[in-house]
Amino acid sequence: MTPGAAPPPIPGSDPLASLNPRTASVLCYVPGIGWIISIVVLAADRFRRDRVVRFHAFQGLYLFVAWLMADWVLRPMFDVFLIPRMQIYRIVEIVLLGMSVFMMLKAGQNEAFSLPLFGELAHRSVAED
């Protein structure tokens, strides 16, 4: 080994080696932490060629972006411009939560269900890899 060179990878050192693809797909939709798991799954060598798991990871990320938009854009916009008690963003958040739970069930059944808009974006992202 030459000085300054990275050591060779240790066989069996992949922390995701024992993670089932179905479990990885389900975890990508967990509200609050699914986006972190999605990024880890997309960066992992273990799932680099698994198009179904990558689809779920991308779709989970896009759902998370929708959560952020509801929280950071819709909430302040409706609080400022409309009656504060009219909380339309809550309805959007409930719909997004329902979508996340639905996708956890579909991923648990090993089905790559494509949500409107989110699924199309996820399919494009997987195709670009």
pLDDT tens for each residue of 102-123: 999 999 999 989 999 999 999 9
Look at residue 106 and tell me if it is in a domain: yes
- What is the signed CA dihedral for 115, 55, 104, 41, rounded to 10 degrees? -150
Counting residues of the chain whose pLDDT is more than 70, the rounded percentage is 82
- Gap between the Cα atoms of 104 and 29, Å rounded: 6
Is 64 contained in some domain?
Answer: yes
27: in domain: yes
The pLDDT confidence band at residue 90, using thresholds 50, 70 and 90, is confident
Query: Which pLDDT score, from 0 to 100, does residue 1 have?
Result: 52
Q: Is position 118 within any domain?
A: yes
Q: Across residues 2-15, what is the average pLDDT?
A: 59
pLDDT at 66 over 70: yes
Domain extent for 73: 21-128
Assess if residue 47 is contained within a domain: yes
**Tokens at residue 72, please?**
């950071």
**Under a CB-based contact definition with an 8 Å cutoff, are residues 41 and 24 in contact?**
yes
Q: Confirm whether 50 is domain-assigned.
A: yes
Using CA atoms, how far apart are residues 13 and 7, in angstroms rounded to an integer?
Answer: 13
pLDDT (mean) for 26-44: 93
Residue at 84 is within a domain: yes
Q: Is the pTM of this model over 0.85?
A: no
Structural domain count, the chain? 1
The two structure tokens encoding residue 54: 């990558």
1 within some domain = no
What is the pLDDT averaged over residues 42-55?
A: 92
